[in-house]
Amino acid sequence: MSTTEFTSRTLVRDDVADSTPTTTPASPRAGRGRLWALTGPLAAVAASAGSVVADLGNPVYDPATSGDAGRILATLAQHGGALTAFHVVTSAAALLLLVWGAGVARRLRATVPDGSMLPTVAVAGTTVTSAVLLLGTGLDTEVIEGVTRPETFVDETAALYGHWIGTIPYLWTAVGLTGLAIAWAAWRHRAVPRWIGLVALVLGGLTAVAGVSPLEYIASLPGEFMVLVTGLGFAVGDRAHRRGSDSPNGSAEA
């Protein structure tokens, strides 16, 4: 028996299944859609709408009722529709923000260097903010039901609720980190268009600074605007990535 014949018979067997793991290459267009990006603007609009309707039904900041827990309770009872609308749109904003954060993380992961913390930081910022929005609506059902039966409800609880919905849903501090992560990806790695990075830097930075200040409830304004503009940017202004280039400048580096 020749050496060649022996080698062929001992190394190649057709009675044993090949256990070598196989992988299916990802589609070249995987992660390049734009629908996920639109959940960001929708979240920002919904959160802003929630703030508006909450103000319509919130008597704790009205000079005519502020400081009088009994009148606050009576006024809340008259604005159940506004409070219900606040709950619906703010909760929807929280869920949409989760989807947007996951999309941003996937978008960054596709173009930043392997092992980068940026996708994790980006999704952490939106996840924390989404949780804050859900907590901001957490007392709604209890109060909307309770104020219709004032004999079972403590007046001061209604006053506390008014302050709760007037502050907690505005704490968009953590989403500032999302903006800063996008900005760093744009300027350090050229992983997203530079103009998106600039918007994210300015508005994300303002959100973070506002959030760590004693006026933290104003963080929602730049935070919502950052999510709105960068989300639209990823949806309509990220053409290089959707065409298949690894960087917005058309080169293979990221």
Q: Which domain holds residue 136?
A: 35-234
Number of domains in the chain: 1
CB atoms within 10 A of CB 174: 22
User: Has residue 16 been placed in a domain?
Assistant: no
Dist CA 54 CA 57 (whole Å): 5
User: Has residue 21 been placed in a domain?
Assistant: no
Query: From first to last of its 254 residues, what are the pLDDT tens digits of the chain?
Result: 554 444 444 444 445 444 444 433 334 444 466 899 999 999 999 999 999 999 887 899 988 898 899 999 999 999 999 999 999 999 999 999 999 999 999 999 999 999 999 999 999 999 999 999 999 999 999 999 888 888 888 899 999 999 999 999 999 999 999 999 999 999 999 999 999 999 999 999 999 999 999 999 999 999 999 999 999 999 998 767 766 654 443 333 32
Please report the sign of the dihedral spanned by the C-alpha atoms of residue 143, residue 148, residue 152, residue 153.
positive
Dist CA 198 CA 181 (whole Å): 11
User: Has residue 205 been placed in a domain?
Assistant: yes
- H helix intervals, the chain: 3-11, 35-56, 69-77, 80-109, 118-136, 140-146, 155-165, 175-189, 194-212, 220-236, 239-243
User: Has residue 10 been placed in a domain?
Assistant: no
pTM here?
0.82
